[in-house]
Amino acid sequence: MAFGAVGDGSKDDSLAFIKAWKAACKSSSNGKMVVTSGKKFLVNPTTFSGPCQWPVSVHIQGTIIAPAKKSAWKMADTSKWLEFSGISGLSIGGGGIINGQGQIWWQKSCKVDKKNPCRKAPTAIHISSCRNVVVTNLQFVNSQQIHLGIFYSSALHVSGLMIKAPKDSPNTDGIHLQGVTNAKVYNCDIGTGDDCISITSGTSNFDIQNIRCGPGHGISIGSLGYGGEKASVENIRVKNVVFDGTETGARIKTWQGGSGYARQITFSDIKVNDVAYPIIIDQNYCDSSKICKMKKSAVQIQNVSFQNFRGTSTEEQAVKFVCSKSMPCREIVVRDIDIKSVVSSATESVCVNAYGLAFGHVYPPSCLRRM
């Protein structure tokens, strides 16, 4: 407000935000930018860039609202709304609300109306090329696409987020990571129209704990390998998650024709409530209007563990490992699984080119083959 913001939800306050950021970033000690409580701030696509002299915090107490019209991005990158870039030592929190007003973007999505071409829509908060980042205690509502996207950054801690969008909103991932190392996501409640958390290539050493997910598409590694991509994902640990009415639970998805690997991945202590496919590996992923041609190369999936799953599935086939003939899934472990179907007296596992071991009580019975 000290830099000229009005906070009435209709006047463009972007310039005041830019001025406040520059002052905080240039501060001779730890700078703080405060978004006043009880106010609504309309902010156009904006980049808050570093480097800054000292660590900077953004304390969002009020509500930040995106423009309702797509024309606001006419001269801007349509993949971003609020971008934080090139900063070492960044904290974003304060209990406020980030409202993407994504409805106009959803209506024009090719996934809603197949006559429309597929175009990028903005990520609400886009963090790129940053290190030592904390994002905590925020509410995200109705992002245009991804709610919180983190790209090519390291040393991150994300916690205490509530992320909400309708279950039919397209591509509205809760938290998306690409090229991220040494990250933690704890204690979040996420319900959207796509993945609650999506983990893509270049991500390693990532811990996820105490998440409620639903509605949505579960927690996904991938998709990986699109367009012949050489993918790398490793050392991912997902623990203490409740999937509630989601399309999938623990999922790894790769396109045919890619290369690289997804390995050293553990999903443990998971509760599934009426989830369609609680455990799934799909190496024939094809999110396209055209038929995907069969290809020989694939991303190698290896050393993946699913431990202590309990609950119910809305499909008879609750566990699916559909892997590549040329690059089978290897070292898959299922341990202490008890998932019952609510639509059938028996629950099944499906395996194609999947090799591994089962331990303890495993239901549906394991179909993994020994090497």
Phi, psi of 148, deg, nearest 5: -125, 115
Q: Give how far the C-alpha of residue 55 lies from the chain's centroid of Cα atoms, to the nearest Å.
A: 26
The residue annotated as part of the active site, out of 147, 173, 217, 282, is 217
pLDDT of 214 > 90? The answer is yes
Reported as half-sphere exposure (CB side, CA atoms, 13 A), residue 41 has a value of 29
Mean pLDDT over each residue of the chain, to the nearest integer:
96
Residue in 13, 194, 195, 282 annotated catalytic: 194
- How far is CA 265 from each of CA 186, 203, 206, 250, 305, rounded to the nearest angstrom? 17, 12, 10, 11, 6
Closest CA to 217 of 185, 169, 255: 169
Q: Which helix or strand (DSSP H or E) is residue 16 part of?
A: helix 14-25
| CA 227 remoteness from chain centre | 21
Burial class (CB in 10 A: 0-12, 13-18, 19+), 69: exposed
pLDDT band at 203 (very low <50, low <70, confident <90, very high): very high
pLDDT at 178: 98
Confidence category of residue 113, pLDDT binned at 50, 70, 90: confident
Query: Of 140, 139, 185, which Cα lies nearest the Cα of 159?
Result: 185
Cα(132)–Cα(155) distance, integer angstroms: 5
**Of 23-32, 93-102, 157-166, 290-299, where does mean pLDDT reach its minimum?**
290-299
| Domain residue extents for the chain | 8-363
pLDDT band at 371 (very low <50, low <70, confident <90, very high): confident
Indicate the burial class of 265 (C-beta count within 10 angstroms; 0-12, 13-18, 19 or more): buried
The yes-or-no verdict on residue 224 having pLDDT over 80 is yes
Q: Quick check: 341 pLDDT over 90?
A: yes
Give me 109's structure tokens.
């999505």
User: Three-state SS for 280?
Assistant: strand
pLDDT at 288: 79
| Cα 24 from chain centroid (whole Å) | 29
pLDDT of residue 47: 98
Superfamily of domain 8-363: Single-stranded right-handed beta-helix, Pectin lyase-like (2.160.20.10)
Residue 367 pLDDT greater than 80, yes or no: yes
Whether 217 sits among the annotated catalytic residues: the reply is: yes
DSSP-based three-state secondary structure for 101: coil
pTM over 0.75, yes/no: yes
pLDDT of residue 48: 98
